A and B are shown apart, each in its own frame.
Chain A
């Protein structure tokens, strides 16, 4: 067990008093960063990166990775309390987390989210510790066709999710794809649908759309419904954590499945956002009480949070071993590594064992410290809902505006966010589901370029999608997922005839 020895050595590097201090500091900063929508882990780390140059390498990376964990934890808070996803991968958490808060179960939803985050991240770290070399090789098998198959699988596992009529789902999904296509076409290098407006060059940023559609849209709805949060009457109980934990044990199957989805998506590197959507879709499919999803089912919080964190953590693996960042935050961390003279790649583990194992040990410790920090603050966060809407409403709008501005430092984005807010309100009034739009917007771009890269590689032949067992298996699984919802109907139909 060479890994265990290495890990123990790592703990001895990470477990010093100053380093523990940096962990707590990092986690706290990270939570704040995660709570502010738009600021996000990537921006947060980019801003704080220069501060760490005067620090010891290991301490610096421990603090930065703790900011990363903190931001992952913090993203869930605003999603649950205000329906504003602080990070893209928290979108799926809002589906059931926000209804729970409205029903006065904000404390339970937060506890479920934090605990699931911890579970997801913990298993992903185990994976990094023991299977790093093996997993790194697996990631290399992913070319353009395999990437497209993964994105296809995400779409297919999400299809049939919405209770709204299929025509409405298709309509918003198509709108999402159309918006994802605005800006630079990476395959031909020309501009699309910008109509000569330089503001449209960068396309529609996913985060701005989400802050507007969900956050501002929700505020508008609340205003219409009489300026009050529904969760206002929530009782704040200090033992909410223990009660929720008891309940969570029943969902171990969902957790396990989400961990697998998350680790897999993080390594491939599909990323945390698709992972959270896929896990949510799968949880709903596997559940007996499908109809309660979207209305405050705690399983709908467990699944995306577990998967997002498993993915967010395992995304560090391809970064360390191959130098390809699995997430934007990982990309900024990568920049940090280079500045410290650490070249990520297959040799990092053998050339700088102190650093790598210190980092892995800090992942274990950072997560435990993080869980303790966030769980002790659950009642406080839930108590925010007791503040009158007339006070907190404007504060939320300001935070949303700052968030939208921070993404690209552009005032045009703030205007965009308000426009999206109005659309979010109208969509809710007209009962159009928002989730398919968001999914299409976040994955449309990636899926399109993977598909077209595959077509270039195969000279236009679709054979590339079943050219090897891996891609063929993924495609088969996608189609199974796609057709699954009509199986019961088909059975019913056949039985009716027979």
Chain B
């Protein structure tokens, strides 16, 4: 009997294991190429990240089906969001978001909201840094703020990406902190903005780290402060003397401005939990690759990862924050 008992026990274990295995095998997987929508133009921060992910997925064979990046930048990204919103129940369409997930519907009145989509995962948060030209006399954020305060309003010019989006919101926050208005000049992309500052056509920008890193390293731009509650954790030297971690926070420099931009993944509405899990796992695997770590370091990203309820709560909070900021600045659609 003991022999039979052993045998039965083994059979039971095998059976459970088999069920378990088939259970895994039956988990949802894409059956055709997955469209990866970028609600912004080619060459920008979101586009770079999407194409980078596409590269990692292809290189490490993380998915049997290909991931195809599609740019839908019309109407400050509204085109891309409406497309995914309209693809109800289609698991082969995902979208990478930037702050225009919140700002575009508020500024233009185009009818969509993050609740219309299925939140997947937060991949990282992008930082904002206050930059000036390296030839400018301002060595610290305090110097710059004092200069802005001492001159009449609109003397200083801030270049940024797009209108009534994150860069202009941050400018409005800085205006509030200094009590003096700066002239905000919108350009098409972050790369253009950085070059305008290198050419000294404007006085400052709030470029994301990755957009200005090469110019900083080349000695053309100077970072004054970072718009986060704490310094960056990257201590490897970027220039001869400074690392990302050496940049003080704006708060400590007397400009109480904090702003982070979401880099997250959303799915179409009406998809199943299985399908959401597949993509969450996929992006977990992407985040584990050394290539991704290198990319995060280069762009000085904040590596926060969130899914599920935690992510939804964060989204709700951030949306309310944008509403408040944009209402105050008068950016809401009438």
Chain A interfacial positions (CB closer than 8 Å to B)? 42, 46-47, 49-51, 53-54, 139-144, 183-191, 194, 198, 201-203, 322-325, 328, 331-332, 334-335, 338-339, 341, 343-348, 408-409, 449, 453, 456-457, 459
Contact = CB atoms under 8 A, between A and B. Distances in A.
A449 B188 contact: yes
Given A334-B43, A335-B42, A345-B218, 8 more contacts: A185-B163, A187-B163, A198-B79, A201-B75, A332-B43, A335-B52, A449-B188, A456-B183
B220 A346 contact: yes
8 contacts: A46-B51, A186-B186, A188-B164, A332-B43, A335-B52, A338-B52, A341-B294, A348-B214
A186 B75 contact: no
A169 to B, nearest CB: 29
Given A50-B54, A189-B186, A202-B79, A338 B48 contact: yes
Given A141-B199, A344-B214, A190 B107 contact: yes
A331 B42 contact: yes
B110 interface: yes
A253 to B, nearest CB: 34
Interface stretch (B65-73, B244-252, B256-264, B315-323): B65-73
B108 interface: yes
A344 B107 CA distance: 33
B191 A339 contact: no
B278 interface: no
Nearest to B78: A201
Contacts of B298: 341, 343
Nearest to A142: B199
A324 B192 contact: yes
B163 A189 contact: yes
B213 A343 contact: yes
Interface-central residue, A144, A189, A191, by most chain B CB under 10 Å: A189
A190 B201 contact: no
Contact of A191 (B110, B186, B195): B110
Contacts of A334: 43
Contacts of A49: 51, 54-55
Contacts of B220: 346
Interface string B190-217: 0110111011011000000000011101
A189 B163 CA distance: 5
Contacts of A189: 76, 107-108, 162-165, 168, 186, 331
Given A142-B199, A345-B214, A453 B187 contact: yes
A210 B107 CA distance: 32
Contacts of B72: 202, 408-409
Contacts of A345: 213-215, 217-218
A332 B108 CA distance: 28
Contact of B58 (A50, A328, A348): A50
A191 B217 CA distance: 38
Interface string B141-163: 00000000000001001000011
Closest 4 CB pairs of A and B: A202-B74, A345-B214, A189-B163, A201-B75
Contact of B183 (A183, A324, A459): A459
Given A50-B55, A140-B195, A323 B214 contact: yes
A184 B76 contact: yes
B78 A347 contact: no
B124 interface: no
A202 B82 CA distance: 12
Contacts of B42: 42, 46, 328, 331-332, 335
